[in-house]
Structure 1
């Protein structure tokens, strides 16, 4: 008979065994391929989300709080073919009457060409004309809107500069858009538009660009330019096309700007001067712009200026209220002498007469400076009068003063709203007359050094640059020269590679394929165990055949090749069929993540996607694992003597009594494990911490080992002890001890599987446990809040609370720790994409040091007794020439999984001028509600991002939790227009915790199925044991035992082992999850665990019974004769 014919006959004759092996391989391949395809599907779903978010756009010029001209799109389009301007801001949306409100909503002003970038290629039918309001389908679902419903959109009106800046105007400048919803924009029409690399689509309101421009007093302005070109091409096109208007800069003379201005009757003709000057829409000039302007003209032909509003000019007993004072050097003016010292002042004739001061006298200046949280500090400086400047001097004009909000466009002083307290009762008729005649003309002049010492701030130290008139210094020539010197990064107008960011976010996203493969560990092991057991069982049944082949001259290697060939064919077919069965696994997993497990991947509409590489990897692994298992089984069989195989099959060695040292070792191991477990239980622990969970889990694990050691000793003891009775119970016990190693393996498999599947839930996180403690994930704070629009005031100051309508809380004092927030991607576990620009937050760390909030998982070296938060204030040495390095603290989960960083690693950012800097991780927080952001010192934050005004993240600290609920409700109500939403800190923490808890549920489910499948292996072991003892069982039948009693004996014998393993596993697991049980089992999936553990127990009984009945079928007399 040829090798091939023997192979085919073997498949036919042992088709039942081969079908079982095939099923084991199929199951292994299904689990592996299904798990990997889950990862493919999640990535594909993220990719489709990103595609919907960007549609045809691939890059963008993003101004943020800086606005360029809408007309820039024209020349850029001529260069790259597509450039679409829009206004992109954030606001709140409420239904009419305020029944429902959505915060952090995108407000986007678009032109008709915006819709061309959509997949549909045209605007939705309802959005025609110039007066419509549309919402995307996300916001429609969130607020339950329908076409025709009236909504109110509220957003902040962008000012000339940040509301944190001095003289920035009113901080409450919000504007509403009210109207009926005209249409709903779906994903096909670019309804999912967004710039953040996040999977949850933002809610969006679309309005015509011109309408939004008019509402915000930004005619012809945009702050985003979308393009279908690559980022380098867009960068080159914008660099070639931009003008000073796009940078918010202009160089002109005052007379030219105001040539059409007609003097009012009875007033002095307005004087603006003919000196060329550089001014900006943002009032204070960026350092790069100022330096380049001075450099291109030369320090002898250009001079920075700094103008400021002072509260009082005082000399002797006389004072002048609310006056503008300019600081400059001797260049480009005839007012300030070259040797004017920093302690000297030039006063105008008008002021000298008002104060009755002469040269050599003293004048004091009282003025406000803006601190953090818009805290006003009134300061005073004294100067010596150098000289008096006549009012008709050539350079006494209005051109010194920039367009301060609330000053430059008002008719009289009664209309002043400069953003600082103004006591209008101090204003005299002569002050009003000066305003009517001279407007913003300064009343005094300081040296530039003297002025900067008083008024320089993080937004700049110059409000303009004046140029000496002359050839080459015409405004147009200066503008051309300055434009050539400046770059987009220096103007804080970066070009972003949106498509590349999206691809990187998806490519580096959390790998759900690996996660499900790891969590399916028990299932894979169980499937391989079944494959191996079935194959070994088959080898034992075919032992006479093996012996015969060896006896007739086959070599052992040939026999192994026969079995391996069978195995290879079975593995190939089983793995191939398993790839198809993996579809079911993937679909069930995606269904679970869309339902019960949706917290692990919120905001995603899952799409099934199987990549060939994943299927190939699963196929190869499945075949290799299956072949590895069967190789070991066939290798053992061919080592036995042919005669023995022919006569009786595989030898069953008689168990030898364990040596005393081994019994002693097992006993001591059990005792030591028991003592160590008790030690973990009684060790001091802080409730609700990871350390507590780890100690209880370790205790349960040690008790599992102790229990298994105890079972092993009992089995050895039973085997040694002579039986005194012949009851069914004693027979079952002695038979279970007949093969102690095999019996202990069954108990160990069940105990370890049940323990791990159940006890892993000890690591479930519950934000409410210990939430009042400072070292908990809430930091001891009662509520956490985020606002859509910045809140500029310090909410801890009584004056600000009164201004905002927040009642006094003297009976239940509270305070707020506020964070500044930069725009960026959410880097928490709630965002499956890899954050490309992680959000940055700035906080006054001294407040957290004082409170001792949050626990750290690791820090850089810190002084003994010092808080790790103090590391944010410690200066760091740059690690490279010219580099700026800032210390930062981040949540451990964010660093590990989202950023893939550790202590000492650095993350790159760019400041307002496009200059890169690094944030070095010096501290890792344990699980906390600060997930998703890097935290740096507030002073460092405003130094790098001066334009990011106000606070947008808040932690409310109030000991009385009931009072805290009322305080949070008041804050939400009073600051609702700014989109503030307060939530219990424990609930916010649980939103993050839900991700880990879902992973544990997935592990429990898949692991439980694996252990359940492993009980099938128990049935195979039962069948194998029965077949080995068929002669013995036949003899028992011959002496009077019925078949039913033999069945009962076999079930009892093996189910005792199964029950022992399950009981040990459950008992140890109860110890591991004891903290959860003490808390009322909050968060424990008791129903799931009961079904899993109960199913394992029931499956053990059923499978033992089926295996016994199957093995005892047939003629027992023949078994007696053969035995």
Structure 2
């Protein structure tokens, strides 16, 4: 009888104890393999969510501004098989009225698009048709939140929803000048034409998440009309290939971004020409290009690029702010109360230079200002009865609110000069500048103040639309100044002081002024745009590799299998201890057999090798059985995470993914560990002398 025959017969003869050992090995294998499969299921489910929410979308560009989508799509034509421009507005609220009660849902993502966006998903994941005027499509998550039954919509019942997308203000609501109320538009009584499943378009989201979004889809032209946008305006671009499961490399995304060439206006920049009014044949005193932002204050990143683009042009950086009050100290040093001086005055912070140096009332150039000095124009100085050398208190709101509340502050400055100011012969209007009979001065420049909707476009100060009261402070002479001088600053301070007082996270410049005698408007725009195109972060016009990032996040840095394995480690250790005990028990029950083998001439090493080989076969059989049980164990764990322990993953998104690699690793690792455990048990087993073994 050879060794193999002996092993087969021994396994059969001692099958009861071997079955017990194999079951112990199977238990360890099931837990080990199941933990690995749960980790694979977590990764596979996250990957599935990524592919479901993105479909064929590989890259996404979302800008903080609306831009010309027609031009953008023409520039990207041919770069990807699938391209779409849309309006994507997170932070929308939705409400519906049913059975006398109003139900609301917040944090809704509103998509304004045509039927082209459906091409990014397989046909089974698309709506039946795109919404038209006065229509909306909801996903199931939003419909359930609003208490809308999908079957009711499918049956043709009239279900109406009101959407309230956020307003995009020129001035942030965290600024003292920003609106604090009425921050949304209204799209009332939209008819729900379909409730789609939380898949495809209904699952779309630019960021990885396990939670289903609340999505509403309306016609893009309807949404443009709400925001009063020109035809073709969008704020989001989707780009993708035909393959759903593949993602392009990072250099492909970079090349795609470089094909996009946003225009000067797309960046939210404004270019206005400011020319001093002339009298007779006299040449204008100044002729400037004024570069500003459509958001009053130029964002820090944009300001950095503009400084670089305008280097060498002699550009002047300006920060104009609203002072609540300008007042002088009394003759005896009495402090102003901050309410009795000149109210609501524009004050410009800039450094004087040869290109812009106001003259005082005696016609002398005003020297550079220190941080504790101020210049008032003649109108303001006369109104206050101020003289050079007086101390002036400037009261203002800090540039950022605290928990939505304005915070007033003041600074005391020395009046070092009074700037000459020419009075117009005829008042200005929104469409026509003031008319002069005498030459204007350097200080006669209303364009030093940026455009602020609701303020700079009003015919009277009393009509200013500000989030704080102004009517009780406005005097007759203040409104007269506004009618004749509009936004002309009443004071000037040093640029460093302006940055210190009024600089914020929103920015520290309201505009840049460049001589129109040096550059044409086209040359200036081209110079700026070329610099912006070359910037690293593209200033909001960079594509994100949404699919590649999503798939990378699905793989994750968190070893889910390791976590589950760690939680089940005590079960694996207990199973290994059981294997040791059972196999040792089996050896002790075979002492007489071992003694007979030794008496027949087998060496102790031969006996140990046969016992170890027998154990290895049992370990392989147990591991094979345990691999199958491990699949069931993983399925049970996934079921638990979908039901009893759903709080651990927030939403029941998990599904079982049987990964052959995880199965192979679990089988091999378990077989090796259990086999080595049995070999170690055999090596430490000391059966005693042959005579004693034969005697039983």
Q: TM-score range by the shorter chain?
A: 0.7 to 0.9
Instruction: Summarize the alignment of residues 514-533 of structure 1 with structure 2, pairs less than 5 Å apart.
Output: 514-533=562-581
Residue in 1 aligned with 2:397? 368
Residue in 1 aligned with 2:333? none
Count residues in correspondence: 631
Residue in 2 aligned with 1:712? none
Residue in 2 aligned with 1:466? 513
Instruction: Summarize the alignment of residues 1074-1113 of structure 1 with structure 2, pairs less than 5 Å apart.
Output: none
Measured after TM superposition, the shift of residue 279 of structure 1 is 0.6
What's the CA shift string for 1:905-926, capped at 9, x where partnerless?
xxxxxxxxxxxxxxxxxxxxxx
Residue in 1 aligned with 2:161? 151
Measured after TM superposition, the shift of residue 130 of structure 1 is 3.7
1:105 and 1:501 map into 2 onto residues whose CA distance is 23
Instruction: Summarize the alignment of residues 113-124 of structure 1 with structure 2, pairs less than 5 Å apart.
Output: 113-120=116-123, 124=127
Residue in 2 aligned with 1:162? 172
Residue in 1 aligned with 2:79? 80
Measured after TM superposition, the shift of residue 621 of structure 1 is 2.4
Measured after TM superposition, the shift of residue 295 of structure 1 is 4.7
1:200 has 2:211 as partner: yes
Residue in 2 aligned with 1:476? 522
2:26 and 2:305 map into 1 onto residues whose CA distance is 71
Residue in 2 aligned with 1:225? 237
Residue in 1 aligned with 2:531? 485
What's the CA shift string for 1:344-373, capped at 9, x where partnerless?
655556556655667777765443334533
1:341 has 2:369 as partner: yes
Residue in 1 aligned with 2:130? 127
Distance 1:590 1:324, change over 3 A: same
Alignment RMSD, CA only? 3.3
Measured after TM superposition, the shift of residue 457 of structure 1 is 3.3
Residue in 1 aligned with 2:317? 304
Check conservation: 2:210, 2:653, Cα contact below 8 A: no
Residue in 1 aligned with 2:343? 321
Residue in 1 aligned with 2:61? 61
SS class of match (2:92): strand
Distance 1:593 1:397, change over 3 A: same
Relative to its length, the structure with more helix (as a share) is: 1
1:491 and 1:338 map into 2 onto residues whose CA distance is 38
Residue in 2 aligned with 1:284? 297
SS class of match (2:77): helix
Structure 2 residue aligned with 1:500, among 548, 552, 556? 548
What's the CA shift string for 1:393-426, capped at 9, x where partnerless?
165243222112421333433321233x333133
Instruction: Summarize the alignment of residues 646-795 of structure 1 with structure 2, pairs less than 5 Å apart.
Output: 646-648=694-696
Residue in 1 aligned with 2:627? 579
Residue in 1 aligned with 2:454? 406
Residue in 2 aligned with 1:717? none
Instruction: Summarize the alignment of residues 947-1096 of structure 1 with structure 2, pairs less than 5 Å apart.
Output: none
- State which drifts further: 50-59 or 148-157: 148-157
2:550 and 2:639 map into 1 onto residues whose CA distance is 25
1:125 and 1:297 map into 2 onto residues whose CA distance is 52
1:186 and 1:401 map into 2 onto residues whose CA distance is 51
Instruction: Summarize the alignment of residues 780-819 of structure 1 with structure 2, pairs less than 5 Å apart.
Output: none
Measured after TM superposition, the shift of residue 502 of structure 1 is 1.7
Residue in 1 aligned with 2:6? 6
What's the CA shift string for 1:162-188, capped at 9, x where partnerless?
222242344542333333333223344
Residue in 1 aligned with 2:245? none
- State which drifts further: 639-648 or 145-154: 145-154
Check conservation: 2:89, 2:165, Cα contact below 8 A: no
Check conservation: 1:80, 1:233, Cα contact below 8 A: no
1:489 and 1:356 map into 2 onto residues whose CA distance is 51
1:104 has 2:107 as partner: yes
1:349 and 1:557 map into 2 onto residues whose CA distance is 112
Structure 2 residue aligned with 1:247, among 256, 267, 271? 267
Measured after TM superposition, the shift of residue 636 of structure 1 is 5.3
2:398 and 2:682 map into 1 onto residues whose CA distance is 87
1:388 and 1:145 map into 2 onto residues whose CA distance is 68
Check conservation: 1:285, 1:463, Cα contact below 8 A: yes
Distance 1:453 1:144, change over 3 A: closer
Could you tell me the TM-score, scaled by structure 2's length? 0.81
Structure 2 residue aligned with 1:623, among 661, 666, 671? 671
1:272 and 1:436 map into 2 onto residues whose CA distance is 22
Residue in 2 aligned with 1:238? 257
SS class of match (1:210): helix
1:644 and 1:55 map into 2 onto residues whose CA distance is 75
Distance 1:138 1:426, change over 3 A: same
Measured after TM superposition, the shift of residue 254 of structure 1 is 4.8
Name stretches of at least 5 consecutive residues in structure 2 with no aligned partner.
241-247, 277-283, 331-339, 360-364, 424-435
2:677 and 2:493 map into 1 onto residues whose CA distance is 89
Measured after TM superposition, the shift of residue 141 of structure 1 is 3.1
What's the CA shift string for 1:405-449, capped at 9, x where partnerless?
421333433321233x33313334444344344432334444545
What's the CA shift string for 1:682-706, capped at 9, x where partnerless?
xxxxxxxxxxxxxxxxxxxxxxxxx
2:368 and 2:219 map into 1 onto residues whose CA distance is 54
1:436 and 1:525 map into 2 onto residues whose CA distance is 87
1:381 and 1:143 map into 2 onto residues whose CA distance is 56
Check conservation: 1:87, 1:209, Cα contact below 8 A: no
SS class of match (1:440): coil
1:363 and 1:428 map into 2 onto residues whose CA distance is 20
Check conservation: 2:297, 2:506, Cα contact below 8 A: yes
Distance 1:196 1:25, change over 3 A: same
Check conservation: 2:346, 2:488, Cα contact below 8 A: yes
Distance 1:182 1:284, change over 3 A: same
SS class of match (2:522): helix
1:608 and 1:83 map into 2 onto residues whose CA distance is 34
Residue in 2 aligned with 1:559? 607
1:619 and 1:399 map into 2 onto residues whose CA distance is 77
Distance 1:327 1:525, change over 3 A: closer
Structure 2 residue aligned with 1:513, among 561, 581, 596? 561
SS class of match (1:253): strand
Residue in 1 aligned with 2:90? 89
Name stretches of at least 5 consecutive residues in structure 1 with no aligned partner.
257-270, 649-1123
Measured after TM superposition, the shift of residue 463 of structure 1 is 0.9
Distance 1:70 1:273, change over 3 A: farther
Distance 1:239 1:351, change over 3 A: farther
What's the CA shift string for 1:1056-1091, capped at 9, x where partnerless?
xxxxxxxxxxxxxxxxxxxxxxxxxxxxxxxxxxxx
1:71 and 1:9 map into 2 onto residues whose CA distance is 81
Residue in 2 aligned with 1:389? 421
Residue in 1 aligned with 2:243? none
Check conservation: 1:7, 1:562, Cα contact below 8 A: yes
Check conservation: 1:253, 1:272, Cα contact below 8 A: no
Distance 1:3 1:252, change over 3 A: same
